[in-house]
Amino acid sequence: MAIIQLPKDLKFGVATAAYQIEGATNEDGRGQSIWDTFAKTPGKVVNGDNGDIACDSYHRYKEDVQLIKDLGCDMYRFSVSWPRILPNGTGDVNQAGLDYYHRLVDELIAQGIEPMCTLYHWDLPQALQDNGGWENRETIEAFVNYAEIMFKAFEGKINKWITINEPWCVSYLSNYLGVHAPGNQDLQAATTISHHLLVAHGKTVKRYRELGMEGEIGYAPNTTWKEPYSNQQQDIDACRREVGYLIDWFFDPVFLGSYPEHLVDWYKQKGVTLDIKAGDMELIQQKIDFVGINYYNGNVARYQSGSGLFDCEDIDMGYNRTDINWPIYPEGFYKVLTYIHDRYGDTPIYITENGACFNDDVQQGQVKDDGRIDYLKTHLASLQRSIDSGVPIKGYLCWSLLDNFEWAEGYTMRFGLVHMNYRTLERTKKDSYYWYQKVIDNGWYEL
């Protein structure tokens, strides 16, 4: 048995997102988002699930803040539903939408919990999608306008802002692979969108600075790791392309001022190009105060001609898997964190999402989710190993507080520390909730 001692100043928290937990999709003037549309399109979401009710956190936020408080969390990462604030994406502000987030934030502050606010967690107003969505450069200005409204409305209350969550999911998963909303399958469109998202991020950071805001701002890319199966150059290069797909493509422009050449060339071979306007790269490179890193899984991989977008295929090494069939690979968490620190320097890092899907149910009032506890143990050990290697990690936010709407998987996949009965909306603390509560209290645990 090893004792993992975590830094005394490491912040702990949990994370959620608006469309996944709020419900109340037709209440208090909220406009429709692309996820309302996508979820109601037959065949897109398992069981035809949608976010109309979800966890009903819109009405039950006080109960959920109490769950966060009882955990002992320092921080809570939530997202704002853009169409609650601007039902048409631009134009008139919906005061009832702002009022809801004031209620939530005031409750967090009253309970001594620091709010970390994600401005964009995938629920683009449908009205903007009808006008081309993120493929249309006009959406960049619409996002900056929305962000400025939020910065001014919550000045002094919210001091940690995330512009965009997982731009890879917003661009490639949603517009090339077609798995998420709006469900397009166009590599050029996805690549154009990836650039517009980064410009929107940078322009928002610039506006935040121009407004003289006191807080901190960053973004939250998702990551993965691919460990080469052999030391053959073709395996090494294939893994570098796959890691670059999620990491380099979304980090290099922000931290190094340009896209990774090897991927620009790879896309060019596929007839895909970037339309970079004058000033775009300078905007993207605005200095940020922290970077949020989301990590769930990684794998061993090798070169395989014709496999995926980058001639790279995962190898089944027999690793244990979560109930969403993702390999459990804590080594990859360490590799991602040290790779990012080595390549991009000492920008402070918050782990803005890490967690596991295990679909354990309530038995006699208890949820024995040992798989989640083991996942958290091994991944927090990798986090500590990364900190010991000098990676400036300031906080860890577990995905997620509650079981919730897991996008295309609907309600079938459970990532929560708290179990949701979607019929009664009853919340039940899982064994992992109590385990995490103890770690937050003690600062150490046995591996």
Among 296, 411, 433, 435, binds ligand JJW (CB under 6 A): 296
Q: Is 406 known as a binding-site position?
A: yes
Among 71, 86, 144, 173, binds ligand JJW (CB under 6 A): 173
Contacts of 371 (CB under 8 A, 6+ apart): 322, 323, 356, 358, 360
Q: Which of 22, 227, 313, 353 is catalytic?
A: 353
Separation CA 314–CA 162 (nearest Å): 31
CA angle 421, 97, 60 (to 5 degrees): 25
For residue 100, the one-letter residue type is Y
Both structure tokens of 192 = 């154009």
Q: Is 296 known as a binding-site position?
A: yes
Least Cβ distance, residue 187 to ligand JJW (angstroms): 14
Residue 45 lies near ligand JJW (rule: CB under 6 A): no
Q: Is 444 known as a binding-site position?
A: no
Residue 46 lies near ligand JJW (rule: CB under 6 A): no
Site string for ligand JJW, 354-393 (x = CB under 6 A): ----------------------------------------
Q: Is 165 known as a binding-site position?
A: yes
Question: Judged by CB, which is closer to ligand JJW: 32, or 322?
Answer: 322
- Residue 166 a catalytic site member: yes
- Residue 282 a catalytic site member: no
Both structure tokens of 396 = 């860890």
Site string for ligand JJW, 324-353 (x = CB under 6 A): -----------------------------x
CB distance 182 to 174 below 8 Å: yes
CA 93 from centre of chain: 26
Stretch that binds ligand JJW, among 172-180, 181-189, 233-241, 381-389 (CB under 6 A): 172-180
Question: Judged by CB, which is closer to ligand JJW: 135, or 406?
Answer: 406
Among 22, 56, 166, 242, binds ligand JJW (CB under 6 A): 166
Among 177, 272, 276, 425, binds ligand JJW (CB under 6 A): 177
Nearest-10 Cα torsion for 179, 187, 197, 356: 30
Location of structure tokens 């295990």? 358
Least Cβ distance, residue 281 to ligand JJW (angstroms): 27
Q: Which of 166, 227, 242, 313 is catalytic?
A: 166
Contacts of 398 (CB under 8 A, 6+ apart): 13, 14, 15, 354, 355, 376, 417, 436
Give the side-chain half-sphere CA count within 13 A for 196. 21
Q: Is the peptide bond before 400 cis (omega within 30 degrees of 0)?
A: yes
Rounded alpha-carbon distances, angstroms, from residue 333 to 123, 237, 351, 387, 410: 28, 20, 10, 12, 26
Separation CA 256–CA 293 (nearest Å): 17
Residue 222 lies near ligand JJW (rule: CB under 6 A): yes
Q: Which residues are annotated as a binding site for substrate?
A: 20, 121, 165, 296, 399, 406-407
Q: Which residues are annotated as a binding site?
A: 20, 121, 165, 296, 399, 406-407
Catalytic residue annotation: 166, 353
Site residues for ligand JJW per CB under 6 A: 17, 20, 166, 173, 177, 179, 222, 294, 296, 353, 399, 406-407
